[in-house]
Amino acid sequence: GVTETLSAELERYKERVKLLEERQNVDLGTREKLTIDDILQEKNTQFVDLEKEINNLKQTISEQSKEEELLTKTFNVFKNESKEKEAKNIDIEIALEKKVKELNNIVYKMGQSV
């Protein structure tokens, strides 16, 4: 993902810095040394920016992971509560059906005795 891409870019940058430092050790003119210093400063700034971006992405991933965990727990609580209510409603429905049968029996017996 993004972190891997940034890490790979960071490694390429480090290799380029190493090469530039090796070249700088060779006897170069002042102008070339200043140019290389400017490039190194720019790359160091880019390096710091990339490190900040990587850290921000890691923080975002961590926060999203915690949020996902919390949402999953909340979902499971609601799911369990729903199952409990459904079971309770089934029990009530069975009890009501039993009472209806009892009342039907009473009405039937009353009809026979009249």
Count CB-CB contacts under 10 A for residue 97: 10
| Confidence band, pLDDT 50/70/90 cuts, at residue 24 | low
The Cβ-side half-sphere exposure at 95, using a 13 Å CA radius, reads 6
CA 49, 53, 58, 60 torsion-angle sign: positive
- Spatial neighbors of 44 by CB under 8 A, at least 6 apart, are 17
pLDDT tens digits for 46-90?
999 999 999 999 999 999 999 999 999 999 999 999 999 999 999
Higher pLDDT, 8 or 24: 8
Whether the pLDDT of residue 104 is over 90: the answer is yes
